[in-house]
Structure 1
Amino acid sequence: MTKKKKMLLVGPVPPPAGGVSIHLWRLKHLLDDQFEIDLVDESRNIKAAYFNIRQKKFLRYWKKVAWSDFLFIHSGLNALRFFHILSAKLLGKKIVLTLHAYPEEKSGLNRWIDERFFGWCDIIISVNAEMLERVTLPAKKTFVQYAFLPPVMQEEKELPAAVQQLLSTQKAQGKKIIVSNAWRLDRFNNQDVYGVDMCLAAVKKIKDKGVPIHFIFNIATIDMFGPAYEAYQQQIVADGLQNEFSLINEELSFVKLMEQADVVVRPTNTDGDSLSIREALFLNKPVLSSDVVKRPEGTILFANRNQEAFEKALIELLTNETAQLNQASSNSYDYYKSYYTHLLGSI
């Protein structure tokens, strides 16, 4: 039997759940039987089960690096990236770095420093091609691979009882379920980033047309946006949409919510590579999204912040069965497993 390589997987471990932490956790599950894996957590949420670099127990950290054959780094902060890269180099370990983000506004000097450090890595993975236009990396060891990994459905938490009851009640009334989500009620260009306002207006129009629906919009974090959240709740009542629109603030698995939905929407006015869209496509759900950035194949698009176009496309999805067919070519679980196994096995 071939001896498994030892991987030290470094980055934020959920909870809390975010794009990078979800990617890291799914990657661990994907490769658990291919590599011997240990974790170094970088989350501000210290967990007893995992060593966290923020505990500043550096001797223990360097022992983990010494144990490994290679580091697989998913850090968001450059200081942590540099620290891990330098530690690995000093201890003679191979390095794989995934860049989940790289800002456009970096100065020439900062980019030059990044390029020197990143150049020490054996493999560099960029989650989109656009980032490679912002920083120059060695072509022979740089790969583009979107951050999406298939959800481990058996690992996803069941929906809260109140949310499951809401779904069951609305479905029993013959309503189609539309879902969307937001991290917070942030604003960009003085507009709601996630388009809650657009969704409310669309539901009012759909109700007037007599189409039976229920829209569930989950806001993951309230923070300083409590007044905006309450204002939307009051608008739901004022517009008489209590039976058609539920704005909720629940800690839940959105992929589990999408699993029971008929349509997924993402009317954002700024965005990255949305994990929710890729998850919905993987689940073969029709996805309606703004065209504010390039979206994955199979996404149904409408012009950013165009209310009329949004409503027209949504009504078409709800009333035309053929419009709901998802044409995306989702890669299988085995595809991602094979991709990462071969890529990491090459170092």
Structure 2
Amino acid sequence: MNKQILLVGPFPPPLGGISVHNQRLHQLLENESFKVTKVSTHNPNRNRLLNIFELLKQINRYKGNLIHLHVSAFESFVFVIPFIWLILMCKKDKKLVVTIHSGRFLSVYNKFSSINKLIISFFLKNTNHVIAVSSELKFFLMEEIGIPETKISVIPAFLPPDKNANDSDLRKVIDKRKKNVVIAGALKELYGFDVVIKAIKTDSNLLNLYNFIFVFYMDSDPDYAKQILNDCNKLGIHFFREMDSKDFISLLNLSDVFLRPTTTDGDSVAVREAIYLGKCVIASDSVERPDRVHTFKTSDPVSLINVMYNVLNKQEEKNIHDFNQNIKSIIKVYKKLNI
């Protein structure tokens, strides 16, 4: 098996579900003796056109024969696809694996123009293998786009983190008299910080029971960010900006509950991290969630309040799942392509 691979997608910074996945995948593949070349599709120090040019240049120069591309919902990537495909058509020895990470792909695809739908469907149908992070996404790819089931694998995006990071600086925000609950995401309505704020304002007793800790990362909506930060200051909610992945795992490890109030979602890496760490997980029912997740009605603060009272004294079951299975499944895909 040829163990050269080109990993294409976002890498930290900024911190995010896909970039953390790619960072861990890079390390785990190197642990398995793969020679990994990585190309980041998001470089905050370069403008977008230069990022695209560098991406295409790296793909064109790559001497190996396996490329693994990671995308969210294709929103900012669709016009790059024809150029990638043109390069691959000129290099017949190349094999392409595409992982689609976001459950938003279903709704985003349906809103695309006919031309963009044609570009994406042609690209995915001619990709050697597609990894979907959920069964719902796999079904959509089969039924709506027409990709054969044999070319799709369902592999959750979660890859195990290092549990042994330093947590000494984070303990100051932990309140041992209460349940510590962590909420993380970009300062955008999608991530549901406003739903949590509304729940607290509706039932102020939550502040006596729970110590809320917000973690903000990536880009933001300025007006939404201003309102949420103002509410955090008024309510005395701790918050962090741009926390790195190791510190985030440390914070999760110190906490009791992880809350994911998103209005839509994919296979959230942070949800699976919290499950891996044995934490109570509460999440919106915007998508199908993993076992052991306590769900509330999306964007409904009253439903969230009810769930938070229901889980207050609940003991979580011990994990028995093999969390190394996902990396094994990814490598199995590579082997299937006879790389």
Would the TM-score normalized by the shorter structure come out above 0.5?
A: yes
* Residue 180 (structure 2) pairs with residue 186 (structure 1): no
- Taking structure 2 as the reference length, the TM-score comes to 0.80
2:98 matched residue in structure 1: 97
1:112 to 100, 118, 123: 118
2:253 matched residue in structure 1: 259
- Identity across the alignment (%): 26
- SS of structure 1 residue aligned to 2:205: helix
**Which piece of structure 1 moves more, 279-288 or 84-93?**
84-93
> How far apart in 2 are the matches of 1:117 and 1:206?
49
1:343 matched residue in structure 2: 333
What code does the residue aligned with 1:36 have? Answer: K
Query: What does residue range 205-220 of structure 1 map to in structure 2 within 5 Å?
Result: 205-207=205-207, 211=209, 213-220=210-217
Residues 194 and 267, structure 1, Cα contact 8 Å, conserved in 2 = no
> Which structure is higher in RCO with an 8 Å CA cutoff and minimum separation 6?
2
Query: What does residue range 1-20 of structure 1 map to in structure 2 within 5 Å?
Result: 4-20=2-18
Partner deviation per Cα, 1:145-178 (whole Å, 9 max, x = no partner): 2222222446x6x5683x43222xx23xx33312
1:146 matched residue in structure 2: 156
Partner deviation per Cα, 1:189-222 (whole Å, 9 max, x = no partner): xxx5652313523772235xx64x4221222355
* Residue 178 (structure 2) pairs with residue 175 (structure 1): yes
Consecutive unaligned residues in structure 2, runs of 5 or more: none
Change (3 A) 1:275 1:338: closer
What code does the residue aligned with 1:125 have? Answer: I
CA shift, 1:340, in A, is 1.4
- SS of structure 1 residue aligned to 2:290: coil
2:130 matched residue in structure 1: 124
**Equivalent pairs, count:** 315
> How far apart in 2 are the matches of 1:194 and 1:150?
30
Partner deviation per Cα, 1:279-308 (whole Å, 9 max, x = no partner): 111211111122232211110122334434
> How far apart in 1 are the matches of 2:57 and 2:284?
48
What code does the residue aligned with 1:94 have? Answer: K
Residues 184 and 216, structure 2, Cα contact 8 Å, conserved in 1 = yes
Consecutive unaligned residues in structure 1, runs of 5 or more: 237-241
Partner deviation per Cα, 1:2-49 (whole Å, 9 max, x = no partner): x642111111221111222222112112221242211122113259xx
2:269 matched residue in structure 1: 275
Change (3 A) 1:36 1:45: same
- Taking structure 1 as the reference length, the TM-score comes to 0.78
> How far apart in 2 are the matches of 1:199 and 1:257?
23
> How far apart in 1 are the matches of 2:149 and 2:163?
35
Query: What does residue range 73-84 of structure 1 map to in structure 2 within 5 Å?
Result: 73-75=69-71, 76=74, 77-84=77-84
Residues 271 and 293, structure 1, Cα contact 8 Å, conserved in 2 = yes
> How far apart in 1 are the matches of 2:112 and 2:64?
32
- Mark the structure with the bigger radius of gyration: 1
What code does the residue aligned with 1:217 have? Answer: F
Change (3 A) 1:57 1:280: closer
